[in-house]
Amino acid sequence: MIAGPCAAESEEQTLRIAQRLSNVSGVPLIYRAGAWKPRTSPETFQGVGEVALQWLHSVKLNYGVPVATEVSTPEQVRKALETGIDYLWLGARTSANPILVQALADVIAQSPSRPKGILIKNPVNNDAALWIGNIRRFQKSDFSFQILAVHRGCGHKPCWEMAYRLRQELPQVPLLLDPSHMSGQASRVAELCCIAEELEYDGLMIEVHDEPQHALSDAPQQIPPDELELIIGKRVLKPDTPLELRWLRRIMDEVDDVLWETIAQRMAVSQQIGTFKKANNMDIVQPTRFEEIVQRRLKWASAHGIAPDTVTQIINALHTESIRKQQ
Ligand code: PEP
Ligand code: MN
């Protein structure tokens, strides 16, 4: 369990939350807090920088827990290792850039001090191969520390297939789930932790703040320490379906989400077309246009191994609903 605030905001806040988490028992804890925050907008809080490393060092001394922070540049790696930060994580934005990832792996290889472990988050884009490639860059350097993967999803969507592929290709790499960045909502963190257990993840990375409403970054997704305690205490009933099937069903549900959202989008366009037809005194049903749609999809279906009958049934269902909307 890796837990702590999104960002180290002040020495007092960093130590106060660490103190609160040191009373949460049940799992071994690694304390996280970002010193440098890679934010989308330059107008938002960018992290306090290097000074936070000292605060994390105090957490380690006072509470005896290993500490973790995010690094995005070789200079940040050097500073974090000099200060004795135990675990370094590569964020989603860094993970999108293989040249930078290689530079970070190289600087660790040359560094006199070693971290206990490196956590590599999935890239901001849904790219399993890039994520796997980043992990391989560290593995190739043959380091003695642990290399872990953190699944944080893309754009507040899990993208389960990306993690499924990582599990298949690198089964020996511990896989953690970050429900905070995956959902962007504190109210969804507990539910995602249950899914992590159902899918047999090896651990969690959760953003915890004792005053989430006042957090300087990622305020909507940070949970209070009390809720972390509840999550840790909650035992999920072991499902009796095989693990492989549980993964495939999660992937299928996510594909279905896209499918149904697409159907809703299609209906919205259909309604706009209906308005246009009405304004221009056109018939709702345009047979040549319908025939063109059917033929195009039948050709597509044969290339994808889908039965022509199925395609016709789906198009007819969509068409019927479109007509109803346009009427
Ligand atoms: C973070 O963990 O605070 C963070 C910035 O994560 P990500 O790179 O997943 O956005
Ligand atoms: Mn964050």
User: In degrees rounded to 5, what are phi and psi of residue 5?
Assistant: -70, 160
pLDDT for 238 beyond 90:
no
Give 207 Cα–ligand 2 centroid separation in angstroms. 7
* Residue in 130, 181, 207 to alter for ligand 1 test, most ligand atoms within 8 A of Cβ: 181
Ligand 2 centre to CA of 218 (Å) is 5
Q: How far apart are CA 134 and CA 120, in angstroms?
A: 8
Q: Is 104 in the pocket of ligand 1 (CB under 6 A)?
A: no
Atom of ligand 1 nearest to the CA of 91: 8
The pLDDT value recorded for residue 28 is 82
List, for residues 162-214, the tens digit of each pLDDT value: 999 999 999 999 999 999 999 999 999 999 999 999 999 999 999 999 999 99
Task: List, as one string, the DSSP characters of 85-125.
Answer: -SEEEE-TTGGG-HHHHHHHHHHHHH-SS--SEEEEEPPSS
Residue 153's region, left for phi above 0, alpha for psi from -120 to 50, else beta, is left
Residues 308, 8: Cα–Cα separation, whole Å: 58
Q: Tell me which residue has its CA closest to atom 4 in ligand 1.
A: 91
User: What confidence tier does 147 reach under pLDDT thresholds 50, 70, 90?
Assistant: very high
pLDDT computed for residue 23 by the predictor: 87
Q: From the centroid of its chain, how far is CA 321?
A: 35
pLDDT at 234: 86
pTM for the structure as a whole: 0.94
Average pLDDT, the chain: 96
Question: How remote is the C-alpha of 282 from its chain's centroid?
Answer: 47
Is pLDDT above 90 for 144? Answer: no
Residue with the two structure tokens 């290689």? 102
- pLDDT per residue as tens digits for the range 126-142: 999 999 999 999 999 87
The alpha-helical segments, DSSP class H, found in 280-307 are 287-303
pLDDT digits (tens, 9 = 90+) for 275-297: 999 999 999 999 999 999 999 99
- Measure the CA–CA gap between 108 and 103, rounded to whole angstroms: 9
Q: Does ligand 1 have an atom closer than 6 angstroms to the CB of 121?
A: yes
Asked if pLDDT for residue 26 goes beyond 80, the answer is: no
Task: Name the amino acid, one letter, at 81.
Answer: L
Mutation test residue for ligand 1: of 6, 180, 192, the one with most atoms within 8 Å of CB:
6
